[in-house]
Chain A
């Protein structure tokens, strides 16, 4: 009777219900709804704030099922974006499993798992396997994996919002489609932080993108976070991005907190902010630093220090963004504007993992535009408005990799595989012709000459099924698979070089930075000033140094302002009633702008032109994000060149683009014309480093060239082929090649924000407000202060080389 009663109320078996009761807990509504969805055999997406017991909610139905019917065999696969997260969940899952007294084996399988254990897992699988998309993709490439996977009941995708819009998401979606074919009864479960558009994620998770097949379970909202904007003496600086001016005030806040995370937007800024804070750290509080360039060991050490309570604050980048509960964080500080409300909310969620207590975040705006952006983010968080995620079609390079993986497991039928691939949401729109072209690319490179038919990697059996032509290719695939392509880097090694393993690895810097260091140079890394003592192949040997260091610059890492916050910033310009709550100098800045020029409207493009020091400036307030503005700057200068206006340079920020020239722009509208924009852009992109970078990525993911494996660097023999050289040859001879088109679509969506730029050009035609001024306007000051600090884009390499030669010649002249 008691059993019946409990099961009706909670849907949970007695041992689990008793466990909750013994801990003095009641299962939460969304946890029970997840169990109910499982009982009904439905896929499910759980959207809940941090601290809502999401992980347990995901696993509860598995535990219930295995409690009711204990059995061997792989039951549930859990996929996490981070290796470390899988380790963390193992801890959080093992505790309830042990306390409930369930006989369930839980194991991890990641890139760090030794190969003998992986083999053992395929022979005698645990009931619950914790893994990453990369390891899952590798798992399904083994011929014996189907036996292990055939009985899988549930796959749980944690932090689904971190996957769905990326190539890792493409890879995972393809792996899920394969898993579903192997285990047709498998249920898909997604766990997500709060997201703007759950239905889009339901569609992403579902087989055949059928959102209706996925039950949506929503957790109760947590307490609203408290978001504060740091203002000192009623002033905000004119320029800057990182809030470094406020280091002293930030330090005082850190002293008052138990454990704080100081989030910054790039790795280079992390180093600078760390140094600034240290300079103000009178009490010598233990402060750590955490970013993606540090070695794994260094990061794990900091994480451990954090959860053991040995740190009081940590300066971190997005590498700490995902939901790991490392310690009792009670304060989050965001240095510089957050760029998006979802990101701010997620970072804020790091403070205080108990959902019924408010988490506390402080934004430190870097300049006045960023102050408005911070205010906009504060409003958005208060109103629960989140950023929309940009879903995009799956990458052809990832598909090529998947096809090799499938062939490595067993021969496949092209019709069946095509249908299976299309059941993955990112590939729902894949045409058969493109699928066939991808097979042809995998088989022989996809060249018009068919020169490599005799070396083909895929061969057709008599029954028409495709198989790998040589077992060696499966090994090659496993060594090179994955969708994360790192920039070429050099290792920072502490201590004496020479013999193998001589020093301790600190982490990596990008090769273009490392390559310009000389012995005796100092640079900031891992929060310390390091001095270069020598080089050996890919290794830079360092010791502790002093003096005025350089800071490594990292390509990318800056995320553009979200459209949602951009609209809100425009709203603040047009809401004078809000100005009173702003610091006095921001208020005054806006008021004088209104007097002297115009304020940007809700839906227009304000363009100011004025002269200063013999240069003619044009400033356009597009609010389309830095990527779109920088592309626009390129486009404008190109068109001004053609119009004989003699442009000298441009700079783009998240809010505006400024162009300057020797002759004045009198009629800006034609410069912003959307006509032939695509062609001009194509010409420029083809010659730019963007497309080359994108090509390198698709060439590695698509299996055209090998990843640089550790140890290859030093041989000095040219083992790998530079993707740039291949790119040049392909463009000349095979302009329609599959990988070139893949690189194009990547570059367009990721690097230049074409859609936002297109919308901006249309806006310029429909609603441009041009103001001619006799001098610089208040709103234009921040971007003009950036002039000269940005690298000059567009200048031809040849011209720069010749200039470098001339500079050297001048410096060396003896007269």
Chain B
């Protein structure tokens, strides 16, 4: 079984798929699903494979089965754009509807999609307070309350034996946890990027769930922007 970490007094379990399991709340948290990113590009003449929503959803369902979670909190940018829900193919649409009906489903609004996902069922909020934690799409720098968010798509690059290995990661400081992007086509921003550094607001670690282990890497502070 996966390894947990303690954050603001809560026990949370980062999953290899990029989701975060919160056993005490029976909840699964995912950020930046970016459903229908493929078709958003296709509209502009770049024909990315049309399977991203189905793939992302399949991962989500696997994670639900693995954790037995009954609540799902999506931390924003669940669709790549506001037109995404209308383009969602029939099968993933039906599956998603079924999920939002049978589970306690919360869409946090994002900068890409706002409240567009509402048509598929579930509740929509700009931010939510669950237990001791605040859920929002983009971290608010300096906000004192412990917070779970997405938006930045953190990833970490590890250099070892001449290889550079890049993985999605959970970026964690004393009061902030930024989840990796969950969507099949979502790229990432290196966790030592100044933008993420500013959001984290202090020393941080990058966690990578690899199989049944939880690896941790210090976030280097060397890559600061030039004056």
Contacts and interface: CB of A to CB of B under 8 A. Distances in A.
B152 to A, nearest CB: 8
Interface string A519-561: 1100000000000011110010100000000000100000000
A431 B12 CA distance: 56
Contacts of A791: 161-163
Interface in B21-52: 37, 39, 41-43, 45-52
A728 B185 CA distance: 10
B153 interface: yes
A451 B227 contact: no
A447 B38 CA distance: 12
Q: Which of A473, A536, A798, A801 has the most CB of B within 10 A?
A: A801
Contacts of A357: none
Contacts of B157: 515-516
A419 interface: no
Contacts of B186: 718, 725
Contacts of A797: 163, 165
Nearest to B225: A536
Nearest to B56: A729
Contacts of B158: 800-801, 804
A792 interface: yes
Contact of A518 (B41, B45, B220): B220
B98 interface: no
A716 B195 contact: yes
A550 to B, nearest CB: 12
A519 B223 contact: yes
B55 A729 contact: yes
Interface string B172-196: 0000000000001111111001010
Contacts of B159: 515-516
A730 interface: yes
Interface string A689-730: 000000000000001111000000000101011100110111
B74 interface: no
B163 A716 contact: no
B145 interface: no
Given A718-B153, A791-B161, A801 B167 contact: yes
Interface bin, chain A: 35 or more
A470 B45 contact: yes
A804 B164 CA distance: 11
B225 A722 contact: no
A472 interface: yes
Nearest to B54: A733
Interface stretch (B99-107, B125-133, B206-214): B206-214
A470 B46 CA distance: 13
B185 A535 contact: no
B52 A705 contact: no
A541 B49 contact: no
Interface string B192-222: 0101000000000000101101011110101
A530 to B, nearest CB: 14
Interface in B115-143: none
A457 interface: yes
Interface string A437-467: 0000100111101011001010000000000
Given A447-B47, A808-B217, A515 B164 contact: yes
A534 B50 contact: no
B226 interface: yes
Contacts of B165: 797, 800-801, 804
A253 interface: no
A610 interface: no
B217 A704 contact: no
B211 A798 contact: yes
Contacts of A722: 185, 187
A4 interface: no
A734 interface: yes
A286 interface: no
Contact of B49 (A455, A515, A733): A733
Contacts of A452: 39, 42, 47, 50
Contacts of A553: 162
B77 to A, nearest CB: 10
Interface in B89-104: 89
B216 A721 contact: no
A512 interface: yes
A452 B44 CA distance: 11
Contacts of B215: 801-802, 804-805
Contacts of B66: none
Contacts of A807: 160
A316 to B, nearest CB: 26
Contact of A535 (B39, B89, B217, B225): B225
B160 A804 contact: yes
Pick from A472, A512, A737 the residue with the most CB of B within 10 Å.
Answer: A512
B227 A496 contact: yes
A729 B165 CA distance: 19
A476 interface: yes
A803 interface: yes
A261 B226 CA distance: 38
A497 interface: yes
B61 interface: no
B168 to A, nearest CB: 11
B5 interface: no
Contacts of B86: none
B8 interface: no
Nearest to A511: B164
A732 interface: yes
Contacts of A534: 224-227
Name, among B49, B189, B223, the residue most crowded by chain A CB atoms within 10 Å (CB to CB).
Answer: B49
Find the residue from B43, B186, B218, B226 having the highest chain A CB count within 10 A.
Answer: B226
A161 B97 CA distance: 60
A498 interface: yes
Interface string A492-505: 00001110000000
Contacts of B162: 553, 791-792
Contact of B218 (A706, A720, A808): A808
A476 B45 contact: yes
A802 B3 CA distance: 14
A800 B163 contact: yes
Contacts of B225: 497, 534-536
A357 B41 CA distance: 60
Interface in A756-815: 791-792, 795, 797-798, 800-805, 807-808
B45 A721 contact: no
Given A718-B153, A721-B187, A518 B222 contact: yes
A725 B187 contact: yes
Contacts of B218: 808
A401 to B, nearest CB: 13
Given A721-B37, A725-B187, A457 B224 contact: no
Given A718-B186, A801-B210, A729 B164 contact: no
Nearest to A534: B226
What are the 8 A-B residue pairs with the smallest beta carbon separation, nearest first?
A534-B226, A445-B47, A497-B226, A518-B222, A451-B50, A791-B162, A805-B215, A512-B164
18 contacts: A444-B47, A445-B49, A447-B50, A457-B47, A470-B45, A516-B164, A519-B222, A520-B222, A534-B226, A534-B227, A536-B225, A704-B48, A706-B46, A792-B162, A801-B167, A805-B213, A805-B217, A807-B160
Interface of B: 37, 39, 41-43, 45-52, 55, 89, 153, 157-165, 167, 184-190, 193, 195, 208, 210-211, 213, 215-218, 220, 222-227
Given A447-B49, A452-B47, A455-B42, 19 more contacts: A445-B48, A445-B49, A451-B42, A496-B227, A497-B226, A515-B157, A515-B164, A516-B157, A704-B47, A716-B193, A716-B195, A721-B187, A734-B49, A791-B163, A792-B161, A800-B158, A802-B210, A802-B215, A804-B160
